[in-house]
Structure 1
Amino acid sequence: MADVARSHGGDGGNDPPHGHHPTFPTGCQVSKPKKSRLNGRNLNLYVEFQRNGNKPLSIEYDTTKQQFRPVGEHYQMFVRLLSNEIGRHVPYYYSSWKNVPNELKRSIFITVSHYFDLASYHRSEHWEGIKTGIQSECANLFKGRKAKLKRHFDMVGGVNDIEEAKRNPPKRMLSDTWVELIDKLFATREHANRCAKNKENRAKQLYGSYHGSQSLANRRYKDVKETGHANYVKGWEEMHHKKGKWINEKASQDWNKIANKYNESLKKSNGDKALVNELECLTEALGPMRSHIKGVGRKLKSITPDPFPNANRHEEDERWLRQEKALEEVRQQNELLKYQMNYLLKATNTQIPCSSHQLDEDDEEDEGDEDDEEDGYIPVISDDFDLSF
C-alpha cells in the first residue's frame, strides 16, 4: 500500500510567506484570460486559490520508499506552478539544477508556499524529505525545459551553424536571452560532451513506458483510493502494453518473468493477493537497478545540501517560534494600518461635499480596494524567516 502524507490545507491563513513577493495574476488575468496556453496554464490554480479564500491549497505527498512525490487533487497544479516559476526566474544556461543559485530556488519555493499548504509539514517527520522531493521535481522540470530548447537549437543550425541558430530564437524568448544561452551552454565543449554521453546512455535503455504525463506516484495514489492497495504488477503491464501490443519484444519477455514470479507468490499465499509483495516480485523478475526502484520510480537523491546541516530539533523549533512571533507582529501592524486608513477615508468623506449617490459609489470602491489590499498584502520581516532549501 502506498504511504501518503497529507497537509491540512489553508492552516497558514491568507497571509503569504514574508520577505518575498510571490507571483500571482491580476484580476483581469483570472477573469478574462487570453486564449493562450502560456497564460492559461495556471488558471485553475488561481481560481481554486480564490475559492479557498486566498488560503494555501492542500497538497499530499506519496512517501513510498522515501520518494516524496506530490499526489492527489492538486498535484498537477503544484507541478505546473513549479515549472512556470522556473521558466520565469531561472536562466537556462546553468548546466544543471544543482548549479542554480540558492536565492533563485528560494524565491520559487516561497511562491509555491504561498499557494500550497507546505507549512503543515514543517514539524513533521517528512519535512526534510519533502524539501528534497521538491528540488528533485524542479531538477526534472528544469532539465525538460532545457531539452526542448536544445531540440530547437539543433533544428535551426545547432553546433554546425551557430550563427544561424542565434538568428532563430524560439517563440516567446528574447533574442539576447537566446544568444546568451547558446554562448554560455549549447556552444560549449563541456555541454557537447555531456550530450554525447547522454545519447549513449539513452541507447542502452531497453524500453520506455506509456505512463504519459501522470507520475507513477499519482498512479499509486489513485490505485489506493479505488482498490485499497497499490497495483504495482498491473501498473507495470499497463505502462508497457497498449492497444494489444507490447512496446517491444524485450518488454514482453520481462512481463512473462514478472507474471511467473507473481503467480508463484500468489500460490504460496494460498491465493490471498493481499499477502503478495508485488514490489518484491518486480525486483526478483527484473533485477535491482542503481538509480530506480522497480514499480516505484527513480530513486530520490539530494540536490542541494541542507542549509542548516548542524541544526538540532530544538534549534529548529526555536526558529519556527521566532517566525510565528514575527508573523503575529506583522498581522497586528497590518490591522493598525487598515484602521488608520479607514479613519482617514471617513474624515476625508465628511469634508468633501457630494451627492449621496456619489458617496455610496465611493464607499463601494473603497471597500473593494481594502479587500484587494488585504488579499495581496506582502509584509516584510526579519532575515530569520527562512523557507529556503
Structure 2
Amino acid sequence: MASVMPRSHGGDGAEDPPPPSGFGRGQHVEDLVPAKRTRGKAKNKGLRHAIALNKGRVSLPFDTEVTYLPIGIPNDWFTREVGRYMFGHFAFDKSSYNYVSDAEKNAMEVHLRRRFNFTEIEKHPKCRQLMDGLNAVYMKRYRSRKAKAKEEFLANGGETDVARARANIPKGMSEENWNKTVDYFLTKEHKDRSRANKSNRQKQLYANRGGSSTYSSFCFKKDKTRLEAFKNGHTLKDGRFASELEEQKYEELQAEFESQSEPNIEDEFGEGSSSQVNEVQVFEKVFGARRGHYIGMGRKPSLSRFAPPSCVGPHEKEQTPPALTLTEDFLDGLFENESFLERLSKFMNSKKASKNGNEDNMDEDQE
C-alpha cells in the first residue's frame, strides 16, 4: 500500500488531498485495483539473484531417467527466458521451431549461454540426450508463444478486421515480426493445421491438470514418485479425480507398481530381495505404447532430429565425413605408399588363410 502525506504541509505534499478521515495514512485509488500477476517477474528476479549468488551462469538439472528434460526451479527460469527471447526476436510464421533459421536459433542460444551453464551439459556422459531435451523445450516454447500471439490476433479483430489486428502489436514484439506472424495466421496451411490440432486435443482422454511443470519436474521439486505426479496431474483442487477413467487408471498403476515391488522368492540365505521397478514399463503396460510420448510421464527421448555427437553446441550439425573419391591419382598414390602395401598384403594373407581353414598359413604356403 502506498503512503499518503498527512495534513500538515511539509513542502512535498502541499498539493495532495487530505486523508479520507482523521490523520495518518490513507489509500490511493490505484491501491484498490487488484495487483497484476507477477509470476513471470518473480522468475526473472530469481534468475538474476541466482546468477549473482553463483557469480556466473546457472546449472540446469535434468531428468536423466526418462524424459531427459531440464527440471526444477532452474528449468522454470530457463523456459521463461526462452519464451521471452522468442517473443521479442522471432516471427511466428513457421509451423514449428524446426523450421526457424539457424541464425535465429544460434543468436538465441548465445543469449542463453550467458545465463545458463551449457558447458556442464556438453561434458555430461549423456550429452546428446540432454541437448535433445533442450531442443524439446525450444519446440514447446515456440508453440506456446505462437499460441499467445494467436490470442492477441483474435482478441484484436482476427480475420474479420486484419487492419486492426496489425495495428495492435503485442508488447515486446517488433512490427516486422508481428506482420509476418499475422500473414502466417491468414494462410490455408495454418488454418488447416489449427483445425487438426483442435480435433486432436478434443480426443485426449488424460489432460494434465498439474500446472505448467512437467511430471518429471514435479517429482524433482516435491520429491514425489511418478505415480504421485500422475495423481497430482489428474485431480481437481478438492482432491477428487477429474474423471472416473483417470481414477481407474491411477488404481491400475498403483496395483501394477505394488505387484512389481513385491519381494522375490527367498534366495539361498533365506532372504527376499526386491527388484527395482521399471516405471516406464508400468506406465506403458497400463496405458499402452504411444509414439513419441509416455502417457502419464512425458516425452520419449529422440535423437533423430537433433543432438550432435561432439556436443560443442546445441545446433552444431552432426559432421559426416565426405565421400571418398577414388581417382586414378589417388589410387596411384596408395600403391606408392609402402605402409599401405604392407597392410594390404597382411589383409590378403588373412583372407587366403581364412578361406583355406588355416589362419596360420603364410604367403609361401599358398603358392
Q: TM-score range by the shorter chain?
A: 0.5 to 0.7
Shift of 1:204: 1.1
Asked if 2 retains the 8 angstrom alpha-carbon contact of 1:237 and 1:255, the reply is: yes
Match of 2:63 in 1: 62
Shift of 1:201: 0.8
Match of 1:44 in 2: 46
Q: 1:245 aligns with which of 216, 219, 240?
A: 240
Say if 1:273 and 1:143 are closer, same or farther in 2 by CA, change over 3 A: farther
CA distance in 1, matches of 2:286, 2:235: 17
Shift of 1:208: 0.7
Aligned length: 270
Say if 1:109 and 1:70 are closer, same or farther in 2 by CA, change over 3 A: same
The farther-off stretch of 201-210 and 211-220 is 211-220
Shift of 1:97: 0.4
Say if 1:258 and 1:114 are closer, same or farther in 2 by CA, change over 3 A: same
Higher-helix-fraction structure: 1
CA distance in 2, matches of 1:266, 1:279: 14
Say if 1:268 and 1:241 are closer, same or farther in 2 by CA, change over 3 A: farther
Shift of 1:105: 1.0
Match of 2:226 in 1: 232
- Superposition misfits of 4+ residues, deviation over 6 angstroms: 35-40, 270-274
SS in 1 for 2:70: strand
Shift of 1:172: 4.4
Q: Any residues of structure 2 matched to 1:115-194 within 5 Å, and which? A: 115-175=115-175, 177-183=177-183, 185-194=184-193
Shift of 1:128: 2.1
Structure 1 letter corresponding to 2:319: N
Shift of 1:144: 0.1
Shift of 1:168: 3.5
Q: Any residues of structure 2 matched to 1:211-290 within 5 Å, and which? A: 211-222=210-221, 226=223, 231-242=225-236, 243-267=238-262, 269=264, 275-290=276-291
Q: Given the two structures, how large is their TM-score scaled by the length of structure 2?
A: 0.65
Query: Cα RMSD (Å) of the superposition?
Result: 2.9
Q: Any gaps of 5 or more consecutive residues in structure 1? A: 1-34, 313-389
Q: Any residues of structure 2 matched to 1:53-132 within 5 Å, and which? A: 53=55, 55-65=56-66, 67-132=67-132
Structure 1 letter corresponding to 2:288: G
The farther-off stretch of 102-111 and 86-95 is 86-95
Structure 2 letter corresponding to 1:144: S
CA distance in 2, matches of 1:203, 1:45: 36
CA distance in 2, matches of 1:222, 1:39: 20
Do structure 1's residue 199 and structure 2's residue 193 form an aligned pair?
Answer: no
Structure 2 letter corresponding to 1:201: N
Say if 1:50 and 1:216 are closer, same or farther in 2 by CA, change over 3 A: same
Q: Any gaps of 5 or more consecutive residues in structure 2? A: 1-36, 266-271, 309-315, 322-367
Max Rg structure: 2
Match of 2:294 in 1: 293
The farther-off stretch of 189-198 and 205-214 is 205-214
**Greater relative contact order (CA < 8 Å, ≥ 6 in sequence):** 1
Say if 1:127 and 1:263 are closer, same or farther in 2 by CA, change over 3 A: closer
Shift of 1:46: 2.0
The farther-off stretch of 158-167 and 249-258 is 158-167
The farther-off stretch of 142-151 and 75-84 is 75-84
SS in 2 for 1:195: helix
Asked if 2 retains the 8 angstrom alpha-carbon contact of 1:257 and 1:286, the reply is: no
Asked if 2 retains the 8 angstrom alpha-carbon contact of 1:233 and 1:258, the reply is: yes
CA distance in 1, matches of 2:129, 2:62: 10
Q: Given the two structures, how large is their TM-score scaled by the length of structure 1?
A: 0.61
Say if 1:97 and 1:37 are closer, same or farther in 2 by CA, change over 3 A: same
Say if 1:303 and 1:158 are closer, same or farther in 2 by CA, change over 3 A: farther
Asked if 2 retains the 8 angstrom alpha-carbon contact of 1:136 and 1:300, the reply is: no
